[in-house]
Amino acid sequence: MLPVTISDPELSARLNKLPADGLTIFTLEGDSIRGALVSAAHMVALMRQAHRLGLLETLLLGKAYVAAALLSATIKGDDRLSLKVDGDGPARGYMAECTAGGQVRGRLFTPAIDIGNDPADFDTARLIGKGQLSLTRYMVGKTEPVTGTVALRTGRLAEDLAWFYHLSEQTRTSFTLGVQFDALGRVAGAGGLYLQALPGARDEVLDRVERLVYSLPPLGETFASGAGRMDICLRSFPFFDLNLLDEHPVRFDCPCTKERIAAFISALSKDELVDMAATGDFPVEVSCHNCGSVYRFDREEFMVLSRQIVDNHDNGTQVSK
């Protein structure tokens, strides 16, 4: 992935005053409830910059990034997890992928959403429409990923994720996702909370915790004020036997490189490569959909690449993808 920086100096300075993005994992009530709290203003702002998104698109994909960062708490090692929403609304859907180390990437299926003149369409449920939510785990050592899919219940990601766990794992789970904007429509704060019942959790305790969570101020607003994750945990759960387990950074990141993109170009036919090298407009630009990075190949680079690939075709070999 190519480096991304915030182009607005005022926004950059404000974001730099906030606590660093990160994920805090904890348990409550004698380890009967597992939770995770993520702060992600920098990540969402960089995602917006890289994908060149408007406010509405940032809200939608930003919440997906926050959710993916939270879900990184559910995987380990070199495993990956992706969430995907497909809908029949104007947004069509989105996907976001995380690693256990907190790296997040993803994209909207419609980068510029047409909502007409109806302000009600700012409701994400209207933007997504009817469809399905899928979670896919890519586990090291397993030959095939494991995917679970449910029909969307509301079109709002936090509610649909809770519904997914209710149906697929029969586990009581809640999500809170938030992205806060300032008066100029810039990202001011972003964050999320995930709580899940573990074996032995009592219903009355879960009810109390959920009521408390729903009474909290919006997390995007809270993080925009400069609050840290530890402060929020201590203030939010003072009577629930809070036990901190782990913390790690989260960030907008993608493993794409120019070399990987070159390997994808090698999938073109020999005739296509020769024709592009001879008559194509340069530089050739190839974008990564998951992070917005644009890789450019000038004529000389492309000629070298095409000669290598043509030689491999002539020798009966293939370039490794």
66: closest CA among 179, 210, 216, 188? 179
Please count the CA atoms within 13 angstroms of the CA of 207 that sit on its side-chain side. 3
Question: Could you give all domains of the chain from N- to C-terminal order, each with its CATH number?
Answer: 9-252 (3.55.30.10), 258-314 (3.90.1280.10)
Phi, psi (degrees; rounded to nearest 5) at 172 = -75, 120
First to last CA, the chain: 17
Q: Estimate to the nearest angstrom the gap between the alpha carbon of 221 and the chain centroid.
A: 19
Amino acid in position 153? R
In this structure, what token pair is assigned to residue 16? 């730099």
Contact assessment for residue 68 and residue 241, using Cβ atoms and an 8 Å cutoff: no
| Strand partners of residue 148 | 135
Give the number of other CB atoms < 10 A from CB of residue 199: 7
Give the number of other CB atoms < 10 A from CB of residue 242: 16
DSSP structural state of residue 287: E
- Per-residue confidence band for 317, with pLDDT thresholds at 50, 70 and 90: very low
User: Helices 55-71 and 157-168 sit at what angle, rounded to 10 degrees?
Assistant: 30
pLDDT of res. 310:
61
Q: What percent of the chain stands above pLDDT 90?
A: 74
pLDDT in tens, 21-64: 999 999 999 999 999 999 999 999 999 999 999 999 999 999 99
pLDDT in tens, 74-124: 999 999 999 999 999 999 999 999 999 999 999 999 999 887 655 445 678
Residues belonging to the chain = 321
Query: What is this structure's pTM?
Result: 0.92
Instruction: Provide Rg for the chain, Cα atoms.
Output: 22
Instruction: Give the mean pLDDT of the chain.
Output: 91
pLDDT of res. 118:
54
Q: What percent of the chain stands above pLDDT 70?
A: 94
| Strand partners of residue 33 | 28, 197
